[in-house]
Amino acid sequence: MNYESTAKKILQRVGGKENVISLVHCMTRLRFTLKDESLVDDEAVKKTKGVMGVMKKAGQYQIIIGNDVANVYAELNKLGNFSNEASKKAPEKQEKQSVFSMLMDTISGIMAPVIPAIIGAAMIKVLLTLLPMIGVLSTEGNTYNLLSVMGDGAFFFMPVLIAMSASKKFGTNMYYAASIALIMLHPNFISLMSNANNAGETIKFLKFIPVTYANYSYSVIPIILAVWSLKYVERLVDKITPVVTKNFLKPMLVVLIEAPIALIILGPLGAICGNVLSTVVYTIHDKLGFIAIGLVAGVYPFVVMAGMHHAFTPIKLGMIASTGFENFICIGELCSNMAQGAASLAVAVKSKNKDFKQIAGSSAFSALFAGITEPALYGVTLRLKRPMLGACIGAAAGGLFGGFFQMKCFGIATPAIVTIVQYVEKGKPQSLLFAALTILLTVVVAFIATMIIGFEDVVDENDDELDMLETESKKEVKVMENAIDIASPAEGKVISLSEVADATFAQEILGKGAAIVPEKGVIYAPFDGKVDVMFETGHAVGLVGENGVELLVHIGIDTVNLEGKYFSPKKAAGDVVKKGDVLIEFDIEKIKEAGYDVTTPVIVSNTDQYAIVEKTATGEVTKESNLIKVQ
């Protein structure tokens, strides 16, 4: 995959850099928060080479890339320098969610960035099970003990990792958040609470306020609640502390106020919530028995599609921490992962499309051996629809089998063939056989079901061919008899787009045009038409002319970060304008003082509809000067 080319095309097809509020990535997906999703060309995004699928969820536009996601993300950051911090501005259009969905999405969104650290630690735990089994490592030696610490560290100090992730989600100070988590895990606090609990006593803060006993290591929900409240404590302290004392008084007050809230109220409340959630989930298991595992395995792909699978992590962690194993969700996950891999393998065998056979084959390998199913789910089974049914049938069959033989999971590594040892119970060698048979049954049933059900094969959508088609379509564009002259929307010095200090404009990703270094803080309508988009920050405007030209005028580079300061829009979206009308006024000097380049690109957004789009002006221009010729 050409990561640079893929990144450029993705950025262009999601509406350009200016349509992106923020961008993060998880293990397989790019997660865009966009200003306006209606600007996205969904079909073009899906057909981009390297893109396996698209998903819209809770205000995010998610593009599934697979194992190469980090490389594409790196190239996107070169083009846009996108922040992974909590967004200060919400997208214009947001999904309405129920309280339950909002809570699950919040937990899932916080857990997702932490998963790599959990997997790393879990895989060490897998080694600690595997190596002694084959006689390579003694459980009595120092090496085993050191590896045990390495494998357990991320789990014991889970609240610290969660605090860091939650601070980004809630937009609060990461170091305050981590400090609260460390207080909850301090050895002296743990010892104090444990001794009091064992003695049947209650610890009291300020002699009167009881501190409820709770164990916060391995926990998730208590620290999430604490960090959520932290943002309000920060705001309160910021308001009440004098400016001259903020550097020392504010930190002290934040910790002094938040720590008791976390230890006395929210920590215990979170522990109770976690216990209730676990009780509800495992009550279903107790009532339905192994049938419940089959049902979970069959529907688990849809839980992944909803982005809520990480929300189960706290439940699994809590169960393993309290009982030493988990025998419900982890078994369903294993069967679901194996079924997705098997269904993709069937597609790879049956498909006649060479490129798609490779995609399906690599997706199958990723799911079966690494437990990463997004490429298989979004790139193969869901995309072709019918293989999804085959995968669900295989997963349900495997779940019923594994549940019937009472499989247990003793770790939280990604469920896959290579991590099968985490399903081995000490003193019960037959547990390895049951795990292997569960995987085998799942794979065989899902493979056969997919082969029988069949699917409509993919028509080759190789991006190189798309590029060729685009090139051919451009060749077919006829030169217009009469050229259209577009006047300059600003007064100042004209430069070429290649001289703009921003790759998105300089490389003409959004289209061809010109740029102006303005000398007067006014943007004029360059033709008769209407305002298509007026950005709420006032730093850019999109126009559609009566002549059919679509024009983007972007005042400055990265000026969206000013959040509307120094910009004063005079028109709104939908307004009809005449050539010369004032669209935006802005303060050039204030923008420069804030450290921003005021160079203003003027882009013909529908460049591909014209044979010729070229800059015609040089030197100084006024609003009467012709800037661009379109023909």
Strands 540-545 and 522-524: unpaired
Q: Are residues 582 and 604 both part of a single domain?
A: yes
Q: Are residues 430 and 324 both part of a single domain?
A: yes
User: What is the helix (H) or strand (E) element at residue 75, kind and residue range?
Assistant: helix 69-80
Give every strand in the sheet of 582-586, ordered side by side: 522-524, 582-586, 567-569
The verdict on residue 505 lying in a domain is yes
Q: What is the pLDDT of residue 588?
A: 93
CATH at residue 8: 3.30.1360.60
The verdict on residue 86 lying in a domain is yes
The verdict on residue 461 lying in a domain is no
Q: Are residues 519 and 623 both part of a single domain?
A: yes
Residue ranges for the chain with pLDDT beneath 50: 84-95, 460-475
Q: Are residues 558 and 615 both part of a single domain?
A: yes
Residue-wise DSSP of 357-402: HHHHHHHHHIIIII---HHHIIIIIHHHSHHHHHHHHHHHHHHHHH
Contact 535, 493 (CB under 8 A): no
Cα–Cα distance between 314 and 307 in angstroms, integer?
15
Q: Are residues 393 and 486 both part of a single domain?
A: no
Neighbour-count burial of 355, counting CB atoms closer than 10 A to its CB (0-12 exposed, 13-18 middle, 19+ buried)? middle
Residues near 467 by beta carbon (within 8 Å), at least 6 away in sequence: none
Contact 343, 394 (CB under 8 A): yes
Domain coverage including residue 48: 3-96
Cα–Cα distance between 182 and 255 in angstroms, integer?
12
Active-site residue, 409 included = no
Rounded (10°) angle between helices 99-111 and 313-323: 70
415: three-class secondary structure by DSSP: coil
Q: Are residues 521 and 561 both part of a single domain?
A: yes
The verdict on residue 464 lying in a domain is no
Contact 576, 517 (CB under 8 A): no
Residue-wise DSSP of 596-615: ----EEEEETTGGG-S-EEE
The verdict on residue 144 lying in a domain is no
Q: What is the pLDDT of residue 475?
A: 46
Q: Are residues 522 and 424 both part of a single domain?
A: no
Q: Are residues 33 and 54 both part of a single domain?
A: yes
Q: Which residue shows structure tokens 């120094």?
A: 566
**Per-residue tokens: 549:** 């030209």
Cα–Cα distance between 93 and 105 in angstroms, integer?
17
Which of 284, 302, 327 marks a domain boundary? 284
Residues across the chain: 631
Contact 79, 7 (CB under 8 A): yes
List, for residues 301-329, the tens digit of each pLDDT value.
Answer: 887 765 566 667 778 877 887 788 889 99
Q: Are residues 498 and 611 both part of a single domain?
A: yes
Q: Are residues 366 and 448 both part of a single domain?
A: yes
Which of 80, 96, 112 marks a domain boundary? 96
Cα–Cα distance between 361 and 346 in angstroms, integer?
9
The verdict on residue 511 lying in a domain is yes
Neighbour-count burial of 188, counting CB atoms closer than 10 A to its CB (0-12 exposed, 13-18 middle, 19+ buried)? exposed
The verdict on residue 406 lying in a domain is yes
The verdict on residue 134 lying in a domain is no
Q: What is the pLDDT of residue 464?
A: 46
Q: Which residue shows structure tokens 């610890």?
A: 203
* Active-site choice (26, 335, 392, 409): 26
Residues near 178 by beta carbon (within 8 Å), at least 6 away in sequence: 160, 163, 164, 167
Q: What is the pLDDT of residue 244?
A: 82
Residues near 562 by beta carbon (within 8 Å), at least 6 away in sequence: 537, 539, 591, 594, 596
Q: Which residue shows structure tokens 């300059």?
A: 488
Give the CA angle between residues 139, 145, 148 to the nearest 5°.
Answer: 100
CATH at residue 599: 2.70.70.10
Q: Which of 629, 624, 589, 599 is closest to 611 using CA atoms?
A: 629
How many other C-beta atoms are found inside a 10 Å radius of the C-beta of residue 457? 13
Domain count, the chain: 4
Which of 237, 264, 284 marks a domain boundary? 284
Q: Are residues 397 and 349 both part of a single domain?
A: yes
The terminus-to-terminus CA distance of the chain in angstroms comes to 35
Q: Are residues 498 and 617 both part of a single domain?
A: yes
CA distances from 323 to 123, 253, 318, 403, 427 (A): 20, 39, 9, 18, 17
